[in-house]
Each structure stands twice: as structure tokens, then as C-alpha cells.
Amino acid sequence: RNGIDMTTENGKKEALAIAKQSGVEIVGIMTHFPNYNAEEVRAKLGSFKESSAWLIKEANLKREDILLHVANSYTALNVPEAQLDMVRPGGVLYGDLPTNLEYPSIVSFKTRVASLHHLPKNSTVGYDSSFTTTKESVMANLPVGYSDGYPRKMGNTADVLINGQRAKVVGVTSMNTTMIDVSDIKGVKPGSEVVLFGNQKSQTINAAEIEKNADVIFPELYTIWGTSNPRVYVK
């Protein structure tokens, strides 16, 4: 994130010039801490408070009109004095905060089986024929792919949850579809719920598992999920 370093004279001048610019209304001052380190946060918090107080005074702003905020998920939970006027929780909502695993994800990523396919032994699945059946198999086609935030690397690597059991993703994940092997899972039919991330019965696919299989940081995925897929809110 690009910001202004108000610990320097040039930074103070730049911030003050922006605050005094005609047509600009300052409603908040913020910073962001890049590391999970409480002592580092506390040290930088003091500097932020000093710089903010200086700008509010020099720009003739009213403190009650300005929101001060610095706290992402880690900071809000582990440095309570840094909560200030508001907090910005993000990763913790997805169970993506390794320092605070006591907070489970409130989000799931789900789809449903579109169709079933019965394949003989030695059939190939996916682009580049990247998977070959070793026996008569039943594959379920899922209407989700890398354009929806389910990466190609999930193919032949990841599991999904269906009927409370784990099923392997087979073949390379394509743009709009993913194939899973449900040969040994009873009761699968078109419309069956499939969990790509989250819980189903006693099984869980968490952020760490998703990151390992996709070889990306988890936010790269859930930011796509929220913009490319329908959202269902439950109480």
C-alpha cells in the first residue's frame, strides 16, 4: 500500500497540502501494519497517533469528524489499544489468521453436481489427458472452474466434500468446470451439494489446505469468490 511517511518533513508537507486542498474533505486517517508482531505494532502505533494529531491540528480539522483506524484482523485481536475509532477485520472472517485459529471461518465456497459420467478403465479426464482412470469410475462434473476462483492447480491435488466424504479433484481444472471422482461415494446425484471450502458434516477444508493445493495466498481466491459467484447469506 502506498502512503505518506509523516515521520519526515517532506511527508508532513505533502499531507498538509492534501488536507488543505480545495474540494478535499478529510474524513479519516489510516495506516496498515504488514507483520504479525504486537511489539512492532505498538511502536508504530505511537508514531501514527503523533502524526495524526499533528495533521489534525495543522490542517484545522475537528478530531470528532476524523476516523482514525489502523487495525486489521491481527491487530484488532492482539493489540486492543490499536482499535481506535474502527477496525478492519478481513482474514479472520475466513479462518485465515494463523495466530488466532480459535475463530472459524464464517464463509463457505460451494457448488452442486451438474452431471454424472460413468467411465471405463483407462479413460482420460481433463485437458492434456492429465488423469487416467485405473478402474471403472464415476465422475461428477462441477460447474465451477478457474474463472470462478478455483485454480487449475487444484486438479489431481485437491479434495472436495460431498455427502460428508472427501472426493478427489481429477484432471486439470478448466475455466468453467471441475471433475471429481465419486466412484466410492454412495448417493451422489445431480444437485448434490459440494463444498470446495468450508465444512460438511465432520469434514473440513480450511484455508491452509486450500493455500497448499492452489499454491497461492488465500486472499487471492476469496476476493475472486465474492465478485464472481452468487452470494447466499444465512443466519
Average pLDDT over residues 15-22: 95
Average pLDDT over residues 198-210: 96
Three-state DSSP state, 74: helix
Average pLDDT over residues 174-190: 98
108-162 pLDDT, tens digit per residue, is: 999 999 999 999 999 999 999 999 999 999 999 999 999 999 999 999 999 999 9
User: Of 1.10.260.40, 3.40.50.12780, 3.30.1490.20, 3.20.20.10, which CATH number belongs to 9-91?
Assistant: 3.20.20.10
Q: Is the predicted pLDDT of residue 217 greater than 90, yes or no? A: yes
**CATH superfamily of domain region 109-228:** Lyase, Ornithine Decarboxylase; Chain A, domain 1 (2.40.37.10)
Q: 153-157, 210-214, 223-227 — which is least confidently predicted?
A: 223-227
Q: Tell me the pLDDT band of 1, cut-offs 50, 70 and 90.
A: low
Q: Is the predicted pLDDT of residue 2 greater than 80, yes or no? A: no
Q: Is the predicted pLDDT of residue 57 greater than 70, yes or no? A: yes
174 burial type by CB count under 10 A (0-12 exposed, 13-18 middle, 19+ buried): middle
Phi, psi of 226 (to 5 degrees): -75, -20
Average pLDDT over residues 25-52: 95
List helix spans (H) across the chain: 9-19, 38-58, 73-78, 207-214, 219-228
pLDDT at 98: 87
Average pLDDT over residues 162-179: 98
**pTM, rounded to two decimals:** 0.86
Residues sharing a CB contact under 8 Å with residue 167, sequence separation 6 or more, in sequence order:
140, 159, 160, 161, 180, 181, 182, 185, 194
Kindly state the percentage of the chain with pLDDT values over 90: 94
Q: Tell me the pLDDT band of 226, cut-offs 50, 70 and 90.
A: confident
Q: Show me where the domains of the chain are located.
A: 9-91, 109-228
pLDDT at 23: 93
Angstrom distance (rounded) from CA 80 to CA 71: 9
Angstrom distance (rounded) from CA 76 to CA 134: 51
1 among the known binding-site residues? yes
pLDDT at 3: 84
Kindly state the percentage of the chain with pLDDT values over 70: 99
